[in-house]
Structure 1
Amino acid sequence: MKRRSRAPQAMSDDEHRRLPKYSIGVVSQLVGIPPQTLRRYEEAGLLDPARQDGKNRLYSDENLAVLQEIADLADQGINAVGIRHILQMRRQVISLEQEVKEVRTLLMHVQHTEYIVESSDEKKER
């Protein structure tokens, strides 16, 4: 039986950013951090790379960005516990900013709807 070929679906930028694709050796060279340090960051809960067959770590572009942030904070003398708290706070800020954006969009929609209703009521009164 012949298989139907499916057209590959395009990945969103977010999906592409989260796609695990770099081995620990490649990441070590890209970021300039020894593999053992990368393993310690994972043990400390600062990073959670994907696992290939439960063994080999695979890092995404998103992981690389977090690693760069971790390295910058470590260079400033911040320990692993402090880095974890900073990363958590930054994620929370991003989440709250997204919530604010959604609420503002909803508010604008409600205000627009109210304007339309008021305009319609004024026309009926005439």
Structure 2
Amino acid sequence: MDEQSPVFAIAMAAELADMHPQTLRQYDRLGLVSPQRTAGKSRRYSLRDVEQLREIAKLSAAGITLEGIRRILELENEVSGLRRRVRDLEAALSDELLSRPGSRVFAAGPAGDVTSLRHGTRTRRRTEVVVWQSKKTT
């Protein structure tokens, strides 16, 4: 079972999160936890949703408002997405380095734009970062 699979009905999710089902409904309305819906519009929670409910309970117990919790969760989700993106870019860079050893791979501009470069090509702007791997001599 995947942590994103929507398998728990609201009563089970509430029990796993040690909350009342009405609290889960309120959190859904506020957008703190958005479970998936069945064809009949019933809520189905995943393990990730239950973890998020537990995190909400901890933050709430620490005195953070629901709006503050919503913002924290939003930022945590953004950080997770950015980490995935960095891993994807690192994998792409690694693949490129393996397929083209000794040549420049790409240039990154100040706005985050990425441009592939051919061997021997230089960037046009001096503010860009260029990543390359030197040729090894044996």
1:81: how far off?
A: 1.0
**Structure 2 spans left out of the alignment, 5+ residues:** 104-118, 120-134
Check the 8 A contact 2:17/2:50 in 1, yes or no: yes
Q: 1:32 aligns with which of 4, 14, 18?
A: 18
C-alpha distance in 1 between matches for 2:12 and 2:82: 34
C-alpha distance in 2 between matches for 1:47 and 1:55: 16
C-alpha distance in 1 between matches for 2:41 and 2:81: 31
The answer to whether structure 1 residue 114 and structure 2 residue 110 are counterparts is no
Residue 6 of structure 1 corresponds to none
Q: Judge which range, 103-112 or 74-83, deviates more.
A: 103-112
C-alpha distance in 2 between matches for 1:62 and 1:38: 14
1:108: how far off?
A: 2.5
Percent of residue pairs identical: 32
Q: 1:59 aligns with which of 45, 54, 62?
A: 45
Residue 23 of structure 1 corresponds to 9
Q: Summarize deviations over 1:3-33 as a string: whole Å, max 9, x none.
A: xxxxxxxxxx6xx222221111111211110
C-alpha distance in 1 between matches for 2:95 and 2:62: 45
Q: What amino acid sits opposite 1:18 in the alignment? A: Q
C-alpha distance in 1 between matches for 2:3 and 2:48: 5
Q: What amino acid sits opposite 1:66 in the alignment? A: Q
TM-score, normalised on structure 2? 0.66
Residue 83 of structure 1 corresponds to 69
Q: Secondary structure at the match of 2:72?
A: helix
Q: Summarize deviations over 1:23-67 as a string: whole Å, max 9, x none.
A: 111112111101111111111111111223334221111211111
Report the CA distance shift for 1:37/1:95 in structure 2 as closer, same or farther (over 3 A): same
Correspondence 1:95-106 to 2 at 5 A:
95-106=81-92
Going by fraction, where is strand more abundant, 1 or 2? 2
Q: Judge which range, 47-56 or 73-82, deviates more.
A: 47-56
Please identify runs of 4+ aligned residues in structure 1 that moved more than 6 A. Answer: none
RMSD: 2.4
TM-score, normalised on structure 1? 0.72
